[in-house]
A and B are shown apart, each in its own frame.
Chain A
């Protein structure tokens, strides 16, 4: 035994220099194998397996044909589900496996950080199925529910294709690669990896970009909530009730019954349902309407103050319980929505490609299909924000290296499916109503008559909106009006309410389902606002700490408050700007959200490309380079259009100059701005938006350029230094995918039969 150990020690030492030798890591001879033999892994192709995959491919092919080529009056929602799910299965089985075998080559003989750094807390081996749920709850939020709704303006086909193709070749690849590389580096964050791989300039640019991108993302998410709650006493009441409910849950977990997470989540969920129902009662009373009907500016200020308090309060009191509630709702509602769509199978009458795909004047979000479809739908297809979750938190909990494919690639496929369901829900509502809800108040005047005149005046084939349709629907969902409820959330809520009332309760329950949907979207967004502000505060403290060391001490109250205030002021200013924007808010700001998110994705993919190059994997460099090139072209084109386009609806600066010239000419009103004050607002807002566009694109170009330089340098020298942690032999085994293969089951049985004192520590079943 002692000989054995010294031998292992030497082998380990020489391997530190050459990480790729990890596949000959010596295993403890007293333990069963820690990895399945590569040749036994799949058990080969049997006729049954071939038949199943041919079946999946045929069903997927037929579904895409129905969606893309067959032109009937309507198309059933099931074709979307089949097309997406079959494509995901094929991509997961073949493309992600290809990436695994050719590019990443995970090695189950190597211990993961959860094993070699195990502390039972942050670094804790977690069952792959549990971790999949954890990771999914962390990456999926309101993003995939909002973008697809707005992109439905271009018809159903462009959005569907981008969500499915985008996730397969870009989004899931990014998540998988970032997660794997972070795992090989002890769970390091994207920022740390950027600094290591791209050097000081690239790393600093990536850090500033991440910070500003977080500010803009939090601001626009908050704007979605404000738009959903404005002039809605029911919504304001039930969403504000989430705060006392979360506080109660926090106290319950801290003092009454520590650790009873599911119990308190169930209690919280019951209280949440009560809050939704009670919101309906309150919206019926005179005092309730008087008390809870708030204008959007007031709500925005409420969220800003709430955001500051939530970020400085201890986590146990508000953030942690709210997160439990949000996770609970996430899993529940997504399962519910999938079941409802499969059972009700709504018919969709929206055209495959609408008039607005090729025009720049779409009322929901301006701009032509290329590049604006690809920035309107970010989450669900390619979301850079995921790189922050896929590095850091999840990699510290992965049990075996090969599980990264299931958790990283597979987790993102699930988010993409959520986006498809949101798209289906939005497409299932009448097109006239869709445009009445999503055109800005500047266009509709905020009245039913104005909306009817505007929507019917768009000249869309098959759209003939009657005023009664809008008033009946508003009445059914328990709102004063549904005209110009922009931001995507209310539209999705109407879609979900229509689908759900077909299952439970009929038209009488529509108001409940509408507010249920608003509630969970608000809950996801507010959780992201809290957590985002907090994370951004720590990043800012760390950055300022480089110049004023005292700021590095995160328990220093004054520093924490200053940095929180700076971050909240940053997103709060953009939020107020969006709420008071005479041009609408969502339609002018949402492209910035998508551009910011995709730029972050470009940064993450650039870091991955540099890492692959340093590994010497030039033959398969196209795997990260292809989505990087696409994301770079899309975001840089979109940014340039936002900066240089002469069309005022598209270009921020063109609009800026148009309004400035109008002011200089002494005009009293211009375009959608009815007063001089509104015109001045447009001049200021477009200046800020235009400046942010320039900042983002400059930072992204710097990061991508440094990544390309690092890649070229690595190519010339045939590779580069690896920043991976040294390989440590693993002493545990677990299957890689959702379902264990026969070879994996055999190994699991061998491990289960080990004498008790030799078994490795693992989460108890």
Chain B
């Protein structure tokens, strides 16, 4: 495994690539609306977590 792949894996596990994932999804749906900016996306993400909490195990 190369260093580049390790960094990609690490960032993925930490959840850093969520915005890129959203952009890819947005591009593939050919939506006419502009995608959220990075700042808007992360705000939206944590605000959604406010309403849909995820469990963490013991």
**Chain A residues packing against B (C-beta within 8 Å):** 118-122, 124, 126-127, 129-130, 133-134, 137-143, 217, 221, 253-254, 258-262, 265, 314-316, 319-320, 323-324, 326-328, 331, 379, 383, 385-386, 388-389, 392-393, 525, 527-528, 530-532, 534-535, 538, 554-555, 597, 760-765
Can you list 13 contacts pairing A with B, beta carbon distance less than 8 Å? Answer: A120-B25, A121-B44, A258-B43, A261-B15, A324-B15, A327-B13, A383-B57, A388-B57, A389-B55, A393-B55, A535-B54, A762-B24, A763-B21
A-B residue pair count with CB separations less than 8 angstroms: 150
Which residues of chain B from 1 to 58 have any CB-CB distance to chain A below 8 Å in the complex? 8-29, 38-39, 41-58
- Docked-complex contact A315 and B26, CB < 8 angstroms: no
Q: Which residue of B lies closest to A127 (CB)?
A: B12
Residue from A140, A261, A379, A535 within 8 A of B16 (CB atoms): A261
Q: Which residue of B lies closest to A260 (CB)?
A: B16
Known: A142-B58, A320-B46, A763-B21. A258 touches B39 (CB 8 A): yes
Residues of A within 8 A of B28 (CB): 760-761
- Docked-complex contact B57 and A130, CB < 8 angstroms: no
- Docked-complex contact A324 and B49, CB < 8 angstroms: no
Known: A126-B12, A528-B56. 5 other contacts (CB 8 A): A134-B13, A143-B58, A258-B43, A388-B55, A389-B55
Residues of A within 8 A of B25 (CB): 118-120, 124, 761
Residues of A within 8 A of B49 (CB): 315-316, 319-320
Q: Please give the distance in Å from B2's CB to the nearest CB on chain A.
A: 12
Known: A143-B58, A383-B58. A765 touches B14 (CB 8 A): no
Specify the main secondary structure of chain B where it touches its partner.
helix
- CA distance in complex: A319, B51 (Å): 13
Residue from B11, B19, B29, B57 within 8 A of A143 (CB atoms): B57
- CA distance in complex: A141, B45 (Å): 24
- CA distance in complex: A673, B42 (Å): 54
Residues of B within 8 A of A538 (CB): 53
- Docked-complex contact A764 and B16, CB < 8 angstroms: no
Q: Please give the distance in Å from B57's CB to the nearest CB on chain A.
A: 5
- CA distance in complex: A323, B10 (Å): 15
Known: A315-B50, A763-B21, A764-B21. A140 touches B14 (CB 8 A): no
Q: Which residue of B lies closest to A130 (CB)?
A: B12
Q: Please give the distance in Å from B13's CB to the nearest CB on chain A.
A: 3
Q: Which residue of A lies closest to B48 (CB)?
A: A121
Residue from B11, B41, B44, B51 within 8 A of A554 (CB atoms): B51
- Docked-complex contact A261 and B11, CB < 8 angstroms: yes
- CA distance in complex: A118, B29 (Å): 10
- CA distance in complex: A567, B46 (Å): 23
Q: Please give the distance in Å from B22's CB to the nearest CB on chain A.
A: 4
Known: A130-B9, A383-B58, A389-B57. A121 touches B45 (CB 8 A): yes
- Docked-complex contact A217 and B9, CB < 8 angstroms: no
- Docked-complex contact B16 and A138, CB < 8 angstroms: no
Q: Which residue of A lies closest to B49 (CB)?
A: A315
Q: Which residue of B lies closest to A388 (CB)?
A: B55
Q: Which residue of B lies closest to A311 (CB)?
A: B53
Residues of A within 8 A of B14 (CB): 261-262, 265, 324, 327-328
Q: Please give the distance in Å from A488's CB to the nearest CB on chain B.
A: 12
Residues of B within 8 A of A393 (CB): 54-55
10 closest A-B pairs by beta carbon, nearest first, are: A120-B25, A133-B13, A130-B12, A761-B28, A143-B58, A316-B46, A531-B56, A261-B16, A120-B22, A534-B53
- CA distance in complex: A532, B18 (Å): 24
- CA distance in complex: A692, B55 (Å): 23
Q: Please give the distance in Å from B45's CB to the nearest CB on chain A.
A: 7
- CA distance in complex: A265, B48 (Å): 21
- Docked-complex contact B51 and A262, CB < 8 angstroms: no
- CA distance in complex: A118, B22 (Å): 10
Residues of B within 8 A of A126 (CB): 12, 21
- CA distance in complex: A40, B55 (Å): 39
- CA distance in complex: A532, B53 (Å): 9
Residue from B17, B19, B23, B56 within 8 A of A323 (CB atoms): B56
Residue from B12, B44, B51 within 8 A of A763 (CB atoms): B12
Residues of B within 8 A of A118 (CB): 25
Residue from B24, B43, B44, B55 within 8 A of A531 (CB atoms): B55
- CA distance in complex: A729, B16 (Å): 30
- Docked-complex contact B57 and A262, CB < 8 angstroms: no
- CA distance in complex: A314, B48 (Å): 10
Residues of A within 8 A of B11 (CB): 261-262
- CA distance in complex: A606, B19 (Å): 38
Residue from A119, A130, A532 within 8 A of B56 (CB atoms): A532
- CA distance in complex: A259, B29 (Å): 23
- Docked-complex contact B24 and A139, CB < 8 angstroms: no
Residues of B within 8 A of A221 (CB): 58
Known: A121-B22, A140-B57, A763-B21. A259 touches B51 (CB 8 A): no
- Docked-complex contact B24 and A141, CB < 8 angstroms: no
Q: Please give the distance in Å from A423's CB to the nearest CB on chain B.
A: 17
- CA distance in complex: A120, B29 (Å): 10
Q: Please give the distance in Å from B27's CB to the nearest CB on chain A.
A: 7
Q: Please give the distance in Å from A378's CB to the nearest CB on chain B.
A: 8
Residue from A120, A129, A217, A535 within 8 A of B21 (CB atoms): A120
Residues of A within 8 A of B50 (CB): 314-315
Residues of B within 8 A of A392 (CB): 54-55
Q: Please give the distance in Å from B28's CB to the nearest CB on chain A.
A: 3
Residues of B within 8 A of A315 (CB): 46-47, 49-50, 53
Known: A143-B57, A528-B58, A765-B8. A262 touches B24 (CB 8 A): no
